[in-house]
Structure 1
């Protein structure tokens, strides 16, 4: 949820929507439990330890660990995006100062969902400070949208992305005076 009213410290904090993470984590945890149950059935019927081991291992590796990861995010509810006088940061956006950000726009996809996009002045220098996965996502976002940092529409209510863009532009212009 987003509250576009600025706090007394002049920042906007948006938390991740935990319901989506609970659902995805719950589905993956259910799949992991199913794989473990299937491995137990294999052991009780045929005593084939190798097949049961690989079934359990695959279930835990592909379903259990990601499920626990998503459930942990849902419980912890990290800040999805923080916009303040220093710049942006959060779960969906690595820290960037206002001096690194060139443009702030609302990006609408083909389905009409509105995300917030930040265009960087030096995308290569910014990517050099990131992990390989973040480098790839910033590179691909820059090629596809022209905005290197995209905060997805999943965390916004309808119409709130535009309000955030206006507030972020106001904060950026206030710091550059």
Structure 2
């Protein structure tokens, strides 16, 4: 994961709350964040285990009122989880995902409009390696290469985020 994770996902329409009724209860409970001004990038959430930060921006344009990006926090950070595209992953509780967080961001210039970010987490049952003869938990390169070649590497946790804009558009 050397390249910067920038998944610039754009919102092209307004969702009138269709997701809100179907949302399960998130793991993290939070109040709406303070209203954000158009054209000002703001951090929505940091996910340290994925070496990622989610940033958002109200654009001030009716066609795409809000957009967000997943940005790598540091080039030297070693991720213990992956951030995947929610459109491809299709996260749901039936597929083993956990509804992790619901973030609501009001638009300062248009109080009836808010961006809603839904974050999903897929846990992985990771166990530390067995202890060797010296009582240390070690991974050996040759053994790991063989596991990778046989597609037997352990699963790692994953995160996915989807965004929608709820409420009336400004001037409507």
**TM-score over 0.5 for the pair:** no
Greater RCO, 1 or 2 (C-alpha within 8 Å, sep 6+): 2
The answer to which structure has the higher helix fraction is 1
User: TM-score by structure 2 length?
Assistant: 0.22
User: TM-score by structure 1 length?
Assistant: 0.21
Larger Rg: 1
